[in-house]
Structures are given as structure tokens and as C-alpha cells.
């Protein structure tokens, strides 16, 4: 009988029905697991399910029965893939579950910032409308999406879904090529060209050593159209201190971020100091978390576990 350990149930919303595998098994579930307790909790596990609890080389080495790790996310930077591969452990992630929820959240941020919803809402709360001498007032900029240019970093399922929505709104879409590349494949636009031409930039790519701090002050200074920056992908793609500098210098029009470099953020995170600005929105890594998306995610996790038990593993990294 396989021993299954779920390390961080609390990272999946309470609305989700945590269906368990159909085959006979032992199930151990923890609300959350600190990094220093992972090795102890998976010591006798055959299968580990994790979202954010890191499974590193030391924990893998201390779990001689471990055969599979199921990641309840698309990103898998919490797993030491090299160590798992060396130990013959199958690692599977989930894919495609967020094809609606993340693009919708992306556009929620875009609309809120492009039309200054946050600023105008606060003005009404503060009595500005009541004191106005006419039916409306113009304290903040309002820009249409139609006719604007959207630069997308990442052309997978999420980036492609965002592009389809953008085109429906009459936007011009540019998929950015890799940073530093002199030649781009068909359908891509040079990285620096996207920086210079986009009115809005949105990120839909994993965090890797190559993409960490992909956008810093040097890149902000190339943004000729003072774009909005939207990040619903991974914290660390954009240097947060440089982002605040870009806001202070007027190099960008605003920022809508659902992800930060450290989550939850420390009190000294530079973005927390500018949350009162009407052109800054930070949401707590919830773009992925519609009820529908989370239930779909869990169904994938269980299918991968069941497929592994049958000898036909799926979504193997």
C-alpha cells in the first residue's frame, strides 16, 4: 500500500473537494510544512504532494521509499529536479488549469490601472465627487485598450490566452523574444523592440536563473511609451527596487503585481511602501485561484498520482 503525504493542504482553497486516489493507500495531510520539517514528514513516503513546501536534495536523500512527487502547480522551482532525477523519482506538475483564471486576473489589473479605477474609487470615498462643481472630474488618466500595444513575455498557454483576449479588445499584440537574442523566430518581436513599443507589458513565464531580474532599471529606461507592467507569473522576473525607482521617475505608468519575490512579503519589500499610490495594485498571488481553476488543478494532481500507480505517469518533468 502506497504512503501518500500531502505537505501543504492550506495552499489550496477551502472550496476545493480534496478527492483522494481510487487505489488503496495511506493518506497523511498537513496544513502547511515549514522547510525544516519536510525531510521528517516525507521520510516514509512513496508519493509526496506539494505546492510551496520545498523538496530539496537533502529531503530526497532522506526518503528512500520516495517514488513520485506531484506538484500542485505549473511552476516547479520548489523541487530539486536534478536530485529527483538522480534518485529515479518521477516529478509531475499540472498544466492548463489556469488558462481562464490567470488571463482574467491579468485583464482585471489592466482595466483597473488603464482606467484609473482605484484612484477614482478612492476619490469618491474621500468626497471628491460630492465637492465637484460638475457631473464628473478628471483627477486621473483614462486610456482605452483599443488601438494600444500589448507586449507579452511568454507564449505558452497563458500568454496565448491573454493574446486572444487582447485581440478581442482591438489591441496589437507583440510576443517578446528572448533577452539578448540577435535573431527571433517567426511570430516573435525583439525583446528591446517590445520594451520600446508596448503600452502594457505582461509576464507569463517561469522564474529561472535566466529570467530572474529580467527587467531592471536598464530595461525600464528603454520603455519609451511609459507602459503599465503586469506580473501574474512569478516574483523575481522584475527587480522590485528598480520597479519602484521606475515609478518614482515616471518611466512607467503603473504596476499591477500578483506575485512578489518573497511570499508572503517581508515588511521591507519596496512595493509595500507604494501601495497607497493609485497606479499601483498588489494582489496576494491569487490570479490562479478561481474556484473552477483550483478544482481542475486538484483533479489533475489526482489523475497524475493514479496514472503513476498504474505505471503510466503523466506530465513528467
Same domain for 88 and 162? Answer: no
pLDDT number for residue 88: 97
Looking at the structure, tell me whether residues 166 and 272 fall in a common domain: yes
Does residue 316 lie in a domain region? no
**265 and 297 housed in the same domain:** no
Instruction: Tell me if residue 304 is catalytic.
Output: no
**317 located within any domain:** no
Whether residue 224 sits in one domain with residue 80:
no
Question: Which entry of 105, 204, 285, 304 is annotated as an active-site residue?
Answer: 285
Number of domains in the chain: 2
Instruction: Note whether 208 and 179 are within 8 A (CB).
Output: no
Residues 89 and 196 occupy one common structural domain: no
| Catalytic one of 41, 105, 234, 304 | 234
Residues 163 and 121 occupy one common structural domain: yes
Are 160 and 245 in a shared domain? yes
Residues 295 and 261 in one domain: no
Please tell me whether residues 114 and 199 are part of one structural domain. Answer: yes
User: Is 234 among the catalytic positions?
Assistant: yes
Residues 295 and 247 in one domain: no
Q: Is 168 part of a structural domain of the chain?
A: yes
* Rounded Cα–Cα distance for residues 232 and 160 (Å): 14
Is residue 59 domain-resident? yes
| Mean pLDDT, residues 64-84 | 95
Confidence of residue 78 (pLDDT cuts 50, 70, 90): very high
User: Is the pLDDT at 182 greater than 80, yes or no?
Assistant: no
Mean pLDDT along residues 50-61:
97
In this prediction, residue 265 carries a pLDDT of 96
Mean pLDDT over the full length of the chain: 96
Residues 90 and 119 in one domain: no
Does residue 131 sit within a domain?
yes
Give the model's confidence band at 99: pLDDT under 50 very low, under 70 low, under 90 confident, else very high: very high
Domain that holds residue 91: 2-96+291-310
Within a domain: 163: yes
Give yes or no for residue 142 having a pLDDT over 80: yes
Cell output for 254? 503603473
Domain with residue 192: its CATH number is 3.40.50.720
285 is catalytic: yes
Tell me, yes or no, whether 233 and 302 share the same domain. no
Catalytic residue among 40, 221, 263, 292: 263
Amino acid at each position: 500500500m502506497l504512503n501518500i503525504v500531502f505537505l501543504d493542504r492550506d495552499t489550496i482553497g477551502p472550496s476545493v473537494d480534496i478527492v483522494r486516489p481510487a487505489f488503496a493507500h495511506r493518506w497523511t495531510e498537513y496544513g502547511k510544512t515549514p522547510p525544516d520539517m519536510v525531510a521528517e514528514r516525507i521520510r516514509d513516503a512513496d508519493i509526496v504532494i506539494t505546492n510551496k513546501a520545498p523538496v530539496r536534495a537533502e529531503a530526497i536523500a532522506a526518503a528512500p521509499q520516495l517514488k513520485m512527487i506531484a506538484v500542485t502547480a505549473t511552476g516547479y522551482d520548489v523541487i530539486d529536479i536534478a536530485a529527483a532525477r538522480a534518485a529515479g523519482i518521477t516529478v509531475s506538475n499540472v498544466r492548463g488549469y489556469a488558462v481562464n483564471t490567470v488571463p482574467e486576473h491579468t485583464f482585471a489589473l489592466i482595466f483597473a490601472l488603464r482606467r484609473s479605477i482605484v484612484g477614482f474609487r478612492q476619490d469618491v470615498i474621500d468626497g471628491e465627487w460630492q465637492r465637484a462643481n460638475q457631473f464628473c472630474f478628471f483627477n486621473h488618466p483614462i486610456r482605452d485598450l483599443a488601438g494600444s500595444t500589448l507586449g507579452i513575455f511568454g507564449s505558452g498557454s497563458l500568454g496565448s490566452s491573454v493574446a486572444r483576449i487582447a485581440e478581442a479588445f482591438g489591441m496589437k499584440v507583440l510576443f517578446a523574444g528572448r533577452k539578448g537574442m540577435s535573431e527571433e523566430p517567426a511570430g516573435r518581436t525583439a525583446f528591446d523592440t517590445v520594451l520600446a513599443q508596448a503600452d502594457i507589458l505582461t509576464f507569463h513565464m517561469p522564474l529561472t536563473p535566466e529570467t530572474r531580474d529580467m527587467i531592471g532599471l536598464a530595461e525600464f529606461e528603454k520603455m519609451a511609451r511609459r507602459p503599465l507592467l503586469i506580473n501574474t507569473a512569478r516574483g523575481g522576473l522584475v527587480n522590485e527596487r528598480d520597479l519602484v525607482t521606475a515609478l518614482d521617475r515616471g518611466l512607467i505608468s503603473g504596476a499591477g503585481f500578483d506575485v512578489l519575490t518573497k511570499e508572503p512579503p517581508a515588511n521591507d519589500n519596496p512595493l509595500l511602501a507604494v501601495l497607497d499610490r493609485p497606479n499601483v495594485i498588489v494582489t496576494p498571488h491569487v490570479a490562479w485561484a478561481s474556484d473552477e481553476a483550483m478544482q481542475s488543478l486538484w483533479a489533475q494532481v489526482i489523475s497524475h498520482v493514479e496514472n503513476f500507480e498504474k505505471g503510466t505517469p503523466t506530465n513528467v518533468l
